[in-house]
Structure 1
Amino acid sequence: MRYSFWSFIVEQWKPQPPALKADLTSQTVLVLGANTGTGFEASKHFATKRPERLILACRSQSKGQAAVGKLKAETGYTKAGLWIIDLADFSSVRRFADKFEREGGRLDIFVENAAIGSSTYNATKDNWDISQPPLHLASGPPLAPSHYQNGTIALHDPQTCRRFERRTPLTVDKTVYEDPDVLKTLGGAEYCSNPKNMRGRYPLTKLFNLFFVRALNSRLPFSTPLVITSVTPGYCYSELRREFSGMMAVIDWFMEKALAFSSSAEVGSRRLVWSALSHQDQPEKLRGEYSSNFQIVEASDFALSPEGVKMQVRSWNELVEILGKVDPRVAANVEKYLSRKIEV
């Protein structure tokens, strides 16, 4: 699918349907990045469906507690709980997984909403760029939910972004595509210290999120009761771009006024809810799919190309190797539940 600038405008101006209704009284829902933006608004929508348990996974204790209080005040829901996780810290992710093993029980819906919009290199304590995919993809708890949702955006295609963002094109040179340690390279200080390489960083991370969903889905036995999807909330008002400065902030301000006027974070969150709750009678329709604007659509031409598939396989294999060293449970679960490593 080629995603043109005109397609983007039409999608932004299209009237948005209300959030889907559902009864979640016996289910557990986990939302990452739940204290603000689309994550908080999605949590509110889930709260109105009265799940047995709603976990708001946040990095900040104070902001998370404020979000739980605000959610209770606005929905009347009293079963929301705050769990702390910092995706920029592998040890925090491990503690979260440990806690879920002890206290989590069954997980029915997992919305991996956390994201950061940054075009500068910020090293984590584990020496990865803070926006690098392994930080976000390491966040899954050890018990598989019945529905796992991973956030991406419509502009996850390098070719599309070159046309759409002419002033800041997404460029990853061929040597990086062919690099056997592509994630390590893209997340390292040497690569990220070059401002040219950081242009279009956010769409690039979403491309790898899409790769992760497609790679995981392709390795899941069909009998596994897990539906994994990618979804974009669209271009909407939120705090995602709060770190923008200078000309980038000015351009984004005009973009919001022109294209996000009807798309609040609440509107964007309806798409997350749709991806989690639609096709409940035929969940197989959503397996490994990418959804945008309340419908299943084809992924980008690049993601489907031989070059994209090759990068998808290599990045998956590298990711499993990296995270297996962080926590042995990753490698053990891959070996136990997924198909074997695929070479390219």
Structure 2
Amino acid sequence: MSASFNLGAPKESAGSLFLRSQFYASVQWPPSDTNLEGKVAIVTGSTGGLGLEASRQLLSFGLSGLIMAVRSTTKGEEAAAKFRAQYPRANIQVWPLEMESYDSIQAIVRRAETELPRLDIAILNAAMQTATFSIVRSTGHEKYIQVNYLSTMLLAILLLPVLKAKSPPGMPGRLTIVSSGTARGATITELKDAPILPAFDGKSRPWNPFSRYAISKLLAHLFVIDLVRYVSADDVIVNLVDPGLVKNTDLQRGAPLPLAAFFYCLKTIFGRRLPVGASTYVDAAVVKGKETHGCYVADWKISSFAAFVYTSDGEAIREQLWKETMVEFEFVGVESILSMLKK
């Protein structure tokens, strides 16, 4: 098991951890001599907020190639134009990525396989938050679960062989998946011994956008514990990173006014500055090493997973979730992909 798992359940409540994180955590900026010359990174959801700022920070350390994987290529090109003016030596490309579409996810991975001679870093930052229940037509799954969990995990799995093959010998690829501190307070005990993914797709379950977002992030905690059993830290270092609550992000874009107003006030009081939040991405994807493989990195250090992970219900749901997710991804030959990673 990873160092995060071995820490055991958090000894503080989720609320206490949140307050400690926002007000008492010490910022750890990347060392000034960090050098990313020659390296290539993919950052999803990089037209604004944390993804955009993390991209800027990577470029500031000499990153040679940046793939901005975005939903709106128009916005992506606008952001890329500014980066190209500021960092003219970097090769900056904008690739379309729709996280609601399995076809789009497969397409961007095929493009990485065929067009990139090198790939060192992937930061999976794209996520969504909305106040209304909705189903993604192409998959039949509820949107939070689809985008924040299923699509993100599919992209992670498909990128693992690419990162392994296209990172230089002796320099493991880096796969950093953006998490959230909200997962620390999430539970899904009512689903014990029942199908998990279908339960989230129906309106029969009470709908709460705050708890559903937290659950979508908790599922990633559960899944990554098993995922890293298939990939060596010598090939690809996989970790989860929590940026904390951050001001000026785009997560609530398109949300109804009351929800957007609530988060604006919350971030004004408690939020970290955008550069501080984005520095957690760079820390997890560049500065930290093999010790973080399979870990949840919060406040710039290896931290315990969500408390639910360590419960008997959590263990049972983790096992069931893995099985259901493998079935969901059968269409890409996921078991063969994971088996090949071990070789």
Counterparts of 1:59 and 1:251 in 2: how far apart (Å)? 25
Q: Superposed, which structure 2 residues align to 1:103-182 within 5 Å?
A: 103-124=115-136, 125-132=138-145, 133-140=149-156, 141=159, 142-145=161-164, 146-157=173-184, 160-161=185-186, 172=188, 174=190, 176-179=191-194, 181-182=195-196
Per the alignment, do residues 256 and 277 of structure 1 end up closer, same or farther by CA in structure 2, a change over 3 Å counting?
A: same
SS across alignment from 2:90: coil
Find out whether 1:66 has 2:78 as its counterpart: yes
Q: Which of 90, 95, 98 in structure 1 is aligned with 2:107?
A: 95
| Displacement of 1:289 | 1.0
Per the alignment, do residues 6 and 199 of structure 1 end up closer, same or farther by CA in structure 2, a change over 3 Å counting?
A: closer
Residue by residue over 1:37-95, the C-alpha shift from the partner in whole angstroms, topping out at 9 and shown as x without a partner, is: 10110000111122232111111110111121122234445311111111101111111
Q: Which of 316, 332, 335 in structure 1 is aligned with 2:339?
A: 335
| Displacement of 1:148 | 0.7
The answer for unaligned runs of 5 or more in structure 1 is: 162-170, 340-344
Counterparts of 2:215 and 2:58 in 1: how far apart (Å)? 29
Q: Which of 229, 238, 241 in structure 1 is aligned with 2:252?
A: 241
Counterparts of 2:131 and 2:342 in 1: how far apart (Å)? 34
Per the alignment, do residues 302 and 172 of structure 1 end up closer, same or farther by CA in structure 2, a change over 3 Å counting?
A: closer
Counterpart of 2:282?
A: 273
SS across alignment from 1:156: helix
- The size of the alignment, in residue pairs, is 315
| Displacement of 1:111 | 0.5
Determine which structure has greater relative contact order: mean sequence separation of CA pairs < 8 Å that are 6+ residues apart, divided by chain length: 2
The answer for unaligned runs of 5 or more in structure 2 is: 1-9, 165-172
Amino acid at match of 1:212: F
Amino acid at match of 1:267: V
Q: Which of 210, 214, 238 in structure 1 is aligned with 2:221?
A: 210
| Displacement of 1:194 | 4.7
Per the alignment, do residues 147 and 250 of structure 1 end up closer, same or farther by CA in structure 2, a change over 3 Å counting?
A: same
Amino acid at match of 2:251: L
Counterparts of 2:240 and 2:86 in 1: how far apart (Å)? 28
Q: Which of 304, 314, 323 in structure 2 is aligned with 1:298?
A: 304
Contact map agreement 1:23 1:49 (CA 8 A) in 2: yes
Counterparts of 1:235 and 1:275 in 2: how far apart (Å)? 17
Normalising by structure 2, report the TM-score: 0.84
Q: Which of 183, 196, 199 in structure 2 is aligned with 1:185?
A: 199
SS across alignment from 1:55: strand
| Displacement of 1:198 | 4.6
Counterparts of 2:225 and 2:69 in 1: how far apart (Å)? 24
Amino acid at match of 1:314: Q
| Displacement of 1:13 | 2.3
Q: Which of 226, 231, 250 in structure 2 is aligned with 1:220?
A: 231
| Displacement of 1:307 | 2.1
| Displacement of 1:221 | 4.4
Counterparts of 1:285 and 1:3 in 2: how far apart (Å)? 25
Identity of aligned residues (%): 20
| Displacement of 1:173 | 5.2
Counterparts of 1:3 and 1:155 in 2: how far apart (Å)? 12
- Deviation larger for 4-13 or 111-120: 4-13
Counterpart of 1:6?
A: 16
| Displacement of 1:212 | 2.3
Counterparts of 1:138 and 1:147 in 2: how far apart (Å)? 16
Contact map agreement 1:3 1:300 (CA 8 A) in 2: no
| Displacement of 1:195 | 4.7
| Displacement of 1:292 | 0.8
Amino acid at match of 2:273: S
| Displacement of 1:293 | 1.1
Contact map agreement 1:71 1:77 (CA 8 A) in 2: no
Counterpart of 2:168?
A: none
Counterpart of 1:252?
A: 263
Counterparts of 2:58 and 2:236 in 1: how far apart (Å)? 19
Per the alignment, do residues 254 and 199 of structure 1 end up closer, same or farther by CA in structure 2, a change over 3 Å counting?
A: closer
Counterpart of 1:232?
A: 242
Residue by residue over 1:196-234, the C-alpha shift from the partner in whole angstroms, topping out at 9 and shown as x without a partner, is: 355511111111122222211133346x41111111011
Contact map agreement 1:28 1:54 (CA 8 A) in 2: yes
Q: Superposed, which structure 2 residues align to 1:16-31 within 5 Å?
A: 16-21=27-32, 22-31=34-43
SS across alignment from 1:147: strand
Amino acid at match of 2:154: A
